Amino acid sequence: MIEFDEAGFSYGGTSVLRNVSLTLAPGSFHFLIGPSGVGKTTLLRLCYMDLVPTEGAVRFFGTEIAPSDRNAVAALRRAVGVVHQDCQFLDHMSVFENIALPLRVSGIPAAERAGDIEALLEWVDLGDRVDALPPELSGGERQRAALARAVILSPDVIVADEPTGNVDWDMAQRLLALLVELNRMGKTVVIATHDLNLIRAAKGRVAARVLRLANGQVQPAGADL
């Protein structure tokens, strides 16, 4: 589904990823680990064409999409839901309106899908926070709202960058449960995390692969976790 073929990425002259070959198969569940600054966010951004590789290729559904092909890039962005590290809400808009934003960007009137948005907010246990503004939310509520927004367009793939970074352990487990539920619905899930306990908690619940990023390269990990 998403295939890295000897892909590399450099910011200006600074190489961050080198010779990464990796397949994120449909319905797979991956954790991406590695120290701060190693390139986890960079690799995730390549998964939704927020960045394009400076070497090699990243193919989506078997195709290498040209950045100039706006329709194909837009379709890809609908197929990949993203939970950003800092959530990236518009603070003057309500939780409901923030979750409706991807619909608006895709030309779908939110009014047509109000029931879906409300159902999604119930799913993440934010049914009573529909009208709240993002600055009024707790860390865990923000992360759950970000997850709801990531899946409003029914993407095939969910990419989550430190989705449990600012929450306590109970909330981290609730978020993990939601991501596992999405995976059981057939969605591919990729999570960048520093939290090895989260990976341990996932064991037995989902057949997760753990990828370790080091020196610009991806290596399988797992035995030592």
Residues found near ligand ATP in the complex (CB under 6 A): 11, 16, 34, 36-42
Pick between residue 32 and residue 99 the one whose CB is nearest to ligand ATP.
32
Q: Please tell me whether residue 14 adopts helix, strand or coil conformation.
A: strand
DSSP H or E run through 150? helix 139-151
Q: How many CA atoms lie within 13 A of 43 on its CB side?
A: 38
Pick between residue 12 and residue 204 the one whose CB is nearest to ligand ATP.
12
Pick between residue 36 and residue 71 the one whose CB is nearest to ligand ATP.
36
Six token digits for residue 15:
């190489």
Interstrand relation of 55-60 and 2-11 (parallel, antiparallel or unpaired):
antiparallel
Pick between residue 30 and residue 129 the one whose CB is nearest to ligand ATP.
30
CB of 70 to ligand ATP, least distance (A): 22
CB of 31 to ligand ATP, least distance (A): 13
Six token digits for residue 34:
């590695």
Pick between residue 27 and residue 165 the one whose CB is nearest to ligand ATP.
165
CB of 174 to ligand ATP, least distance (A): 22
Q: Please tell me whether residue 76 adopts helix, strand or coil conformation.
A: helix
CB of 88 to ligand ATP, least distance (A): 14
CB of 194 to ligand ATP, least distance (A): 6
Bridge partners of 213? 218
Cβ burial of 157 (10 Å; 0-12, 13-18, 19+) is: buried
